[in-house]
Amino acid sequence: MNFPQLSVGSADLAWLREKLVLDAEAAGLLDVAFRVVDTPVGPLLLATTTVGLVRVAYVADGSDAVLDELSRRISPRVLDAPRRLDPVVRQLDEYFAGTRTHFDLPLDLRLADGFRREVITRLPEIEYGRTASYAEIAAAAGSPRAVRAVGTACAKNPLPVVVPCHRVVRSDGSMGQYVGGVEAKRALLQLESVA
Amino acid sequence: MSLSDHLPRASLPPFEEVVARHGATVLRVCRALLGAVDADDAWSETFLAALRAYPDLPPGSNIEAWLVTIAHRKAVDIHRVRGRTPVPTENLPEPASSTGNPGEGDDELWSAVAELPFTQRAALVYHYVGGLPYAEIGTILGNSPAAARRAAADGRAALRRRIEHGTGCRS
């Protein structure tokens, strides 16, 4: 027996998905809300918990791995909920327009443990338009010999752009690596030096 | 349904992926079972209940069968609210459903489906719209795979009788 396929319009489904986000939020079941936005340095995935912004990720190669990680490490109750990220998007827009030099957002640092978290909390001390060396950050974090560990902490920064690991460079002044690629790092430093 | 649905996975996929992958199928099942008016509510309640229970779902579970199971409970609830015989059972004769046909596709067939007893209708819809095997459907209906298969066969036979020379029902 062949049943005719009932057509389900994408508009119907989009509306139901929006309603699900609202219902989930009202029921306290939206553990991780995310959104992908286009920026001058490529698409960024933004994710927030009820505590604050928990993840910023470069997702030019796709979001699946990042979403899997959020599901595994925080909660599988992960939904695409763009409006929850509105304040973050507004501040990012201002930052990329050159009118914002400091992010004023609640952050959830649970994805960075131990020394990595120590490093992450130091990074906002590097002022907009300035850079610091990996060695300087190691010293500031109380472990002057942990230069390589600072490099790892920056590479695994769960909140790039917002927590400015792009301002950490090599002692010889060369840029070093970046989680979003060297081109993105150059673009961010250039943006900040012009403003 | 893709192969990966049946492979065990170390952790649960993000719920967004569950909605993206199964949202349309569950809506089709709800519409075929309940009609367009009640289907939206059933879909919303199904996915909210699923989101609530999701962290406790064992990784590697058949997510579509799990969702249809929840949708089935919601559909039974809606039948209860409509004041009809609430719980589908295998042997008792059941009144035709009060909930309308889905109003799309082949109207003649769907209005005939809407007139089937609930168990026959559910078995047909879960198999032909939801794509589930009768083993899963038996679990959902609280009977055996053989009983689920028989309910679907009875439903098919009833449809054939009702649409004698119709165009929508081909065996």
Q: Using one digit for the tens of pLDDT, what is the confidence trace for A69-111?
A: 999 999 999 999 999 999 999 999 999 999 999 999 999 999 9
Query: Which residues of A are less than 8 Å from B23 in CB distance?
Result: 13, 16-17
Position A41 scores a pLDDT of 97
CA-nearest residue to A34 within chain B is B16
Q: Among residues A114, A119, A116, which one has the least CA distance to residue A132? A: A119
Query: Which residues of B are less than 8 Å from A16 in CB distance?
Result: 23, 27, 40, 43-44, 47
The SS3 of residue A189 is helix
Quick one: how far is CA B104 from the chain centroid? 17
What crossing angle do the helices spanning B36-53 and A10-26 adopt, rounded to 10°?
Answer: 50
Parallel/antiparallel/unpaired status of strands A32-39 and A78-80: parallel
Out of A165, A188, A189, A191, pick the active-site residue: A165
Q: Considering just the CA atoms, what is the radius of gyration of chain A in Å?
A: 19
The residue that leads in pLDDT, A27 or B76, is: A27
- Cβ contact B105–A71 (<8 Å): no
Position A28 scores a pLDDT of 97
CA-nearest residue to A28 within chain B is B52
Task: Say how far apart CA B39 and CA B159 lie, in whole Å.
Answer: 22
Task: Say how far apart CA A6 and CA B138 lie, in whole Å.
Answer: 24
pLDDT digits (tens, 9 = 90+) for B124-170: 999 999 999 999 999 999 999 999 999 999 999 998 888 765 544 44
Please name the amino acid found at residue A134. Answer: Y
Task: Say how far apart CA A61 and CA A44 lie, in whole Å.
Answer: 11
Q: Considering just the CA atoms, what is the radius of gyration of chain B in Å?
A: 16
Of A150-159, B15-24, B76-85, where does mean pLDDT reach its minimum?
B76-85
pLDDT digits (tens, 9 = 90+) for A4-49: 667 788 888 999 999 999 999 999 999 999 999 999 999 999 999 9
CA distance between the termini of chain A: 68
Minimal CA separation from A163 to chain B, in Å: 25
- Cβ contact A76–B24 (<8 Å): no
Interface of A with B (CB under 8 A): 1-8, 12-13, 16-17, 19-20, 23-24, 27, 29, 32, 34, 67-68, 70-72, 75-80
The residue that leads in pLDDT, B150 or A173, is: B150
Residue B94 CB coordination number (10 Å): 17
> With bands split at pLDDT 50, 70 and 90, how would you rate the model's confidence at B83?
low
- Cβ contact B128–A3 (<8 Å): yes
Task: Say how far apart CA A166 and CA A155 lie, in whole Å.
Answer: 10
Position A29 scores a pLDDT of 98
Q: How many residues does chain A have?
A: 195
User: How many contacts, defined by CB atoms under 8 Å, are there between A and B?
Assistant: 96
Residue B81 CB coordination number (10 Å): 10
Whether residue B94 has pLDDT greater than 50: no
**Annotation says A154 is catalytic:** no
Task: Say how far apart CA A43 and CA A25 lie, in whole Å.
Answer: 25
Whether residue A132 has pLDDT greater than 50: yes
Mean pLDDT value of segment B60-83: 88
Q: Identify whether the C-beta of residue A159 lies closer than 8 Å to the C-beta of residue A120.
A: yes
> With bands split at pLDDT 50, 70 and 90, how would you rate the model's confidence at B95?
very low
Minimal CA separation from B81 to chain A, in Å: 22
- Cβ contact A6–B28 (<8 Å): yes
pTM of the model: 0.84
DSSP line for B106-171? -HHHHHHHHTS-HHHHHHHHHHHTS---HHHHHHHHTS-HHHHHHHHHHHHHHHHHHSTT-SS---
Please name the amino acid found at residue B67. Answer: L
pLDDT digits (tens, 9 = 90+) for A111-123: 999 999 999 999 9
Minimal CA separation from B55 to chain A, in Å: 6
The residue that leads in pLDDT, B38 or B19, is: B19
Whether residue B46 has pLDDT greater than 50: yes
Task: Output the furthest CA–CA distance in chain B (Å, rounded).
Answer: 51
> With bands split at pLDDT 50, 70 and 90, how would you rate the model's confidence at B103?
very low
Q: Residue B26 corresponds to which tokens in the numbers above? A: 């569950």
Q: What is the mean pLDDT of chain B?
A: 81
Whether residue B37 has pLDDT greater than 90: no
